[in-house]
Structure 1
Amino acid sequence: MVTAPLHGRMACPAGKSCFDPRWTYVSIMELFVIILSLFATVCNGEYVDDFYQRTPLGDSVDIASMKILKESFQDAKDKNVIVSPLGVLTLLSMYSAGAEGENRAEILRLTGSSSYKQLEDNYANLTERFSAMDPSYLVLANKIYVSDQYTLNEKFSDVASRSYKSDVERVNFAEKKKTADRINKWAAEKTKGHISSPVNEGTIDEDAALALFNVIFFQGHWHVLFKAEETEEKDFFVDESTTVKKPMMKLLKPLIYFENKDIEARMVELPYKEKGFRMVIVLPDKKDGLPAVVEKVAQRGILQDVMAANWRDIALEIPKFEIKTNLDLENILSKVGVSRMFTEGASGVVREAPVRVSSAFQEAFVKVDEEGATAGAFTAIFIRPVSGNYRPPPAIPFKVDHPFMFAILHEDIVLFTGTYTH
């Protein structure tokens, strides 16, 4: 986000073995929210034994995330989309510290916050939660670059430092190459070299008063074994009549599974061993059903379904996929009700003048393969006599052979979400 002067789940089922380790690679990079995420886990032979509570904050992040996904999906010409909603919401929260009136109220409504104090407390807690994790596998950092022609408002500076743990550095935005080099160096350091040049001279707004950045870097291992030798080329339906060949990965394991007739989709959860992280795949019942599913989850989110899912034996087939997306966040945020910050001044950001947001965009990247890619629920076990003719139910086929959406969560917080169509 660049601002310019206004005047300018459950335990693994008994008897089932733990998932085997593999790597996953997920990266996000952006100007508004620069993110690189490498999500996965290491299995040490223990059962997954986590229970994740559904919270009001998780619900609000869920709904806001799905709204942002819907507009990103509809706005994109290429319907392969990846978006990092948490980073967007975090920086909106930070910016709102210097905004007032309807400018701030729009952000409160999108984030589902009843007051600014609740908004700040929520995102300060999320910042603390993720930045306090072991830096060997997770790095979260916020950064403010402020023009040498301006001075941050004392209250805004205090909130950015205290609640969002943001560093502040003074730059001369007119020196575009030098400024871009400094930003790129910071991004590379925070992402261990995985993001080395997220901005260039053309990105830099020489009239900017300040720019806000966020970086997340996570590295670990899959909790689910995909054997590369079992991956084979199969048909993937782009639509009802068009297919393309995709390398499909296979897995036969107990997984968290749910069916929802209201949104006409099924869900399966791929856990990471790293505590709390999981990927949810949402597969429409119809081959051309993705637009309708995206529309429905924008109204209700996915968290209630994720939390209601249960363990089943699943015969999973899912394509290896890679997505890179460039998003115009001004257009997307305007469609979800946050537009005034692009046209109206916020007087509490810098001392010298009100400021408005002059540009906001996101570049995101995600890669899922064999080397890469749990939830809260009430669990009940009813015991009945078993007849000698009893046979366990067969594995449920879950063949991801047509357009789908996905989300990666930590406990009940959506970190990013996307769609894959071809």
Structure 2
Amino acid sequence: MKYNKMLVLLCVLCTLLISGCVEDSTVNTESTINAESAEDYNIAAANNAFAFDMYSEIVNTSDGNMFFSPYSIFTAMAMCYEGAESTTKEEMSNVFYFPLNKNVLEISLGEMIEQINSDNENYELETANALWIQQNFPVKEQYISNVETYYFGNVTNLDFIGQPEESKDIINEWVAEKTNDKIKDPISDGVINDYTRLIITNAVYFNGKWLNEFNEEGTGKRDFYISEDDDITVDTMYTKQYFNYSESSDAKMLELPYKGDNLCMYVVLPDENDIESFENSFSISDYEELKSGMDSEYEVKTWLPKFKFESRTELSDQLIQMGVIAAFSDQNANLSGISDEYLMISKVLHQAFVDVQEEGTEAAAATEVAVETSEAVDVEPIPEREFRADHPFMFFIEDKRTGCILFMGKVESPEYEETE
């Protein structure tokens, strides 16, 4: 008789900015998967292609506002991919655009983590990884070494079987510490049980300011049209500045930079008030085309609602639909690079929070992936542009140095409640 064990991957991405940043893909799938060197592998393009694929799956199973961290999911699953073999490896490679040569991914992701963690006096941005192992469980030394070397992960032994509550508290405290208390209790009741053998965590924290803050005096109650026939009154910020701005035949894009100019928020506003149709056709190629067409020669009159919401999503079904099938199977999963005992993914949970206001943005996300094992120059005046976000829109928080999308979401109802 087989007894299921559990490998849990908890991936946490927290961003705090407190005053002051789908189908088709620009990735050549074959060359990406078969890349034989880090120079040949564009990890940001792989992450971003996955971001749009994941968005398409989530949006089909959720209503209203949406927010998630593709980078967090991508990184945690990369740590799982480190131990994947056979069909499990191939499917994960296809879905996440991971290279079949694992060393290429290790080097690429390690370099990205180091760049994200590079010091900058204008903001705080740091990512952290950890591996929590059931005491006496036989995890392969090479896997542990790779997690420590390439993912800069700390490795700790816990007693999931004898002390599940204590183990949960230790991990949750680590998550809270790494995310400045923005993600609390991500390991929910029942995640750790007698079959839990590993928990993998990833955390990212960002604290910064808008490069040019919105003046609070410009914020006022304005209409936001949830649909053509339904509107609400929300706190809407206003500013008039020179922003990077672009237009396409069906949308506008605005870049809101953060101090340090290494990170920014891109806001994509459809021309028509039909977010469902727009998001179903808006691809990563459209996103990149809008970015490449941006310029800052216009003063842009900008109206943007304050918004704050949180979400918790179970992503297992979406990942299975995307093609990660064997990893969730108690018959076909192959994570033998982690342990000789049988491992399989049982569930993937993602938790996220975002808060956008005059000084900046506060955002946090956490992902739990449970894997069971059974065994300025003077110029002539130029016309102004208007960016009036008074109907549903998409938004992205991107690391401009790497081109990596850290957060991605949409706002359908930006009702805002002040936090005391």
2:18/2:359 contact within 8 Å kept: no
Match of 2:333 among 325, 345, 350: 345
Counterpart of 1:21 in structure 2 is none
The yes-or-no answer on 1:95 pairing with 2:80 is: yes
CA drift of 1:364 comes to 0.3
Counterpart AA for 2:143: F
* 1:214-235: CA deviation from partner (whole Å, max 9, x where unpaired): 1111111111221112111111
Match of 2:130 among 143, 162, 167: 143
Counterpart of 1:157 in structure 2 is 144
The yes-or-no answer on 1:228 pairing with 2:213 is: no
In 1, Cα distance between equivalents of 2:224 and 2:292:
29
The yes-or-no answer on 1:186 pairing with 2:177 is: no
1:41/1:274 contact within 8 Å kept: no
CA drift of 1:92 comes to 1.3
Counterpart of 1:36 in structure 2 is 14
CA drift of 1:184 comes to 1.5
* 1:12-50: CA deviation from partner (whole Å, max 9, x where unpaired): xxxxxxxxxxxxxxxxxx9732121013676xxxxxxxx
The yes-or-no answer on 1:128 pairing with 2:114 is: yes
Counterpart of 2:256 in structure 1 is 270
CA drift of 1:114 comes to 4.1
Q: Which secondary structure does the structure 1 equivalent of 2:408 belong to?
A: strand
In 2, Cα distance between equivalents of 1:246 and 1:125:
42
In 1, Cα distance between equivalents of 2:16 and 2:159:
33
Residues 31 and 209 (structure 1), Cα distance of their counterparts in 2 relative to 1, 3 Å cut = closer
In 1, Cα distance between equivalents of 2:358 and 2:9:
29
The yes-or-no answer on 1:363 pairing with 2:351 is: yes
Match of 1:80 among 65, 74, 87: 65
Q: Identify which range, 330-339 or 401-410, moves more after superposition.
A: 330-339
1:62/1:302 contact within 8 Å kept: no
Matches within 5 A, 1:358-397: 358-373=346-361, 392-397=381-386
In 1, Cα distance between equivalents of 2:43 and 2:395:
20
Q: Which 5+ residue runs of structure 1 have no aligned equivalent?
A: 9-29, 43-54, 374-382
In 2, Cα distance between equivalents of 1:410 and 1:341:
30
Counterpart of 1:215 in structure 2 is 203
In 2, Cα distance between equivalents of 1:220 and 1:93:
27
Counterpart AA for 1:305: L
Per the normalisation by structure 2, the TM-score is 0.81
Counterpart of 1:246 in structure 2 is 234
Q: Which secondary structure does the structure 2 equivalent of 1:253 belong to?
A: strand
Displaced runs of 4 or more, over 6 A: none
Residues 352 and 148 (structure 1), Cα distance of their counterparts in 2 relative to 1, 3 Å cut = farther
Counterpart of 1:309 in structure 2 is 294
Counterpart AA for 1:362: H
Q: Which 5+ residue runs of structure 2 have no aligned equivalent?
A: 21-40, 362-376, 414-420
2:106/2:151 contact within 8 Å kept: no
Per the normalisation by structure 1, the TM-score is 0.81
Match of 2:389 among 391, 397, 400: 400
* 1:341-385: CA deviation from partner (whole Å, max 9, x where unpaired): 111322434434121112211110000011213xxxxxxxxx9xx
In 2, Cα distance between equivalents of 1:57 and 1:304:
19
CA drift of 1:282 comes to 0.5
2:315/2:350 contact within 8 Å kept: yes
* 1:268-311: CA deviation from partner (whole Å, max 9, x where unpaired): 000011341000000011011x2233223346362332133111
The yes-or-no answer on 1:319 pairing with 2:305 is: yes
2:398/2:407 contact within 8 Å kept: yes
In 2, Cα distance between equivalents of 1:400 and 1:415:
22
Residues 296 and 205 (structure 1), Cα distance of their counterparts in 2 relative to 1, 3 Å cut = farther
CA drift of 1:110 comes to 2.5
1:177/1:200 contact within 8 Å kept: no
1:143/1:214 contact within 8 Å kept: yes
Counterpart of 1:410 in structure 2 is 399
CA drift of 1:119 comes to 2.5
Q: Which secondary structure does the structure 2 equivalent of 1:356 belong to?
A: coil
Counterpart of 2:28 in structure 1 is none
CA drift of 1:7 comes to 7.2
Counterpart of 2:369 in structure 1 is none
How many residue pairs get matched? Answer: 368
Residues 74 and 235 (structure 1), Cα distance of their counterparts in 2 relative to 1, 3 Å cut = same
In 2, Cα distance between equivalents of 1:353 and 1:86:
29
Counterpart AA for 1:317: W
Q: Identify which range, 241-250 or 188-197, moves more after superposition.
A: 188-197
Counterpart AA for 1:115: L
Q: Identify which range, 213-222 or 297-306, moves more after superposition.
A: 297-306
In 1, Cα distance between equivalents of 2:44 and 2:289:
10
In 1, Cα distance between equivalents of 2:49 and 2:321:
14
Counterpart of 2:410 in structure 1 is 419
* 1:316-361: CA deviation from partner (whole Å, max 9, x where unpaired): 0010001211111212222322232111322434434121112211
Residues 342 and 198 (structure 1), Cα distance of their counterparts in 2 relative to 1, 3 Å cut = same
Counterpart of 1:47 in structure 2 is none
Residues 239 and 347 (structure 1), Cα distance of their counterparts in 2 relative to 1, 3 Å cut = closer
